[in-house]
Amino acid sequence: MFEKLKQLQIGKVYENYDLKNLNTYQVSCLAKYLIYPKDLASLICLLTFLKKEQICYRVLGNGSNVLFVNPIFDGAIIKLDCLKQIEIQGNTIVVGASVPLIFLVNKLSNMGYTGLEFACGIPGVIGASIAMNVGALNQEISSVVQKVKALTPDLKIKEFSKEELLFSYRNSFFKQHKDYIILEVTLELEKKDVKEILQTIKENNQIRKSKQPLFYPSAGSVFKNPSHDSAGRIIDQLGLKGKRIGGAMVSEKHANFIINTGDATGKEIYELILFVQKEVKEKCQIDLVLEQELL
């Protein structure tokens, strides 16, 4: 199969590739195939092949919201590094799915575009960030999205209007339909004084640094906040900060973060997630819902 994949000449293809450096938890997981299509036509060719051969696949962004629970992913991981264009026309900015959000925020902020300051420290790519409807400091990326171009399961290109994206708290059409692939995102941003924008970013980064365990591998908030409460507050109140399973630990700094203290496996992190969920259910009768995705 590996030889057949290489013969497609669709870009770089690796076999039995350890994804440790491609997910921010930094857990080891051997992907049967890791593929970097070289352009959109190659992506379509690849997906046609994978579907025909019934090989399961998943698009991976920066791996900052996923947990590879098992040591093996028996399918293809697809990286869309070829989709990195940024086109700016007035207040309309068209961005390829693989542009890192932090890079985009910095670039646009320095040009005087406002509306993305809240996202300055979110380590994902724009495509995944739309799928997750990322947010911070009471703002969400949905507020600046105009439309999205995506590949449908039957490999047609479809343009989604904002209404069709069905955004809600850390949720979107794409979160619910994993067989669609975001290719391009159109943002609509206002202009403002650059100094003011950069000052806001500086303050937002300081808030992040003071609250989050940024020196350890993690994948950000583990659970969604229940309505009118904070998952971190609930976990903290139960005294679970510092709780460990193997190399996985509930952060001492932010109870809604699980960190990899060095050599955690995906399974250990997953067991800790289940433990926290069980404690919170038993002691507070609250069902914590995962924000991160299990792969």
Ligand X SMILES: Cc1cc2nc3c(=O)[nH]c(=O)nc-3n(C[C@H](O)[C@H](O)[C@H](O)COP(=O)(O)OP(=O)(O)OC[C@H]3O[C@@H](n4cnc5c(N)ncnc54)[C@H](O)[C@@H]3O)c2cc1C
Instruction: Determine if residue 81 is left, alpha or beta; phi over 0 gives left, psi from -120 to 50 gives alpha, anything else beta.
Output: alpha
- Name the E strands within 90-214: 92-96, 113-114, 135-136, 139-140, 145-151, 157-161, 181-188, 190-191
Q: Helices (H), strands (E): how many in the chain?
A: 8, 18
Catalytic residue among 140, 184, 268, 291: 291
Binding part of the chain for ligand X, among 45-53, 116-124, 258-266, 281-289 by CB under 6 A, reads 116-124
Binding mask 256-285 for ligand X (x = CB under 6 A): ------------------------------
* Angle at 57 (CA atoms; ends 53, 58), nearest 5 degrees: 165
Whether 233 is a known active-site residue: answer no
Task: Report which residue type is found at 126.
Answer: I
Is residue 97 within the footprint of ligand X (CB under 6 A)?
Answer: yes
How many Cβ atoms are within 10 Å of 290's Cβ, its own excluded? 14
Distance CA 11, CA 76 (A): 14
Task: Indicate the residue among 192 and 224 with the shorter CB distance to ligand X.
Answer: 224
Please tell me which residue in 64, 142, 170, 268 is annotated as part of the active site: 170
Residue 13 as a binder of ligand X (CB under 6 A): the answer is no
Task: Tell me if residue 164 is catalytic.
Answer: no
- Of the pair 59, 245, the CB lying nearest ligand X is at 59
For residue 295, the minimal CB distance to ligand X (Å) is: 7
Does the footprint of ligand X cover residue 50 (CB under 6 A)? Answer: no
Q: Specify the DSSP class assigned to residue 288.
A: P
**145 counts as binding ligand X under rule CB under 6 A:** no
Q: Pick out residues in 52-71 that bind ligand X (CB under 6 A).
A: 58-66
Shortest distance in whole angstroms from residue 193 CB to ligand X: 25
User: Could you tell me the smallest distance in angstroms from the CB atom of residue 168 to ligand X?
Assistant: 13
Given the residues 64, 129, 218, 221, select the one marked as catalytic.
Answer: 221
Stretch that binds ligand X, among 5-13, 40-48, 121-129, 193-201 (CB under 6 A): 121-129
What lies within 8 Å, CB to CB, of 126 at 6+ separation is 95, 96, 97, 98, 99, 100, 101, 104, 185
CA distance 32 to 29: 10
Phi, psi of 144, deg, nearest 5: -115, 5
Segment interacting with ligand X (CB under 6 A) among 86-94, 123-131, 264-272, 274-282: 123-131
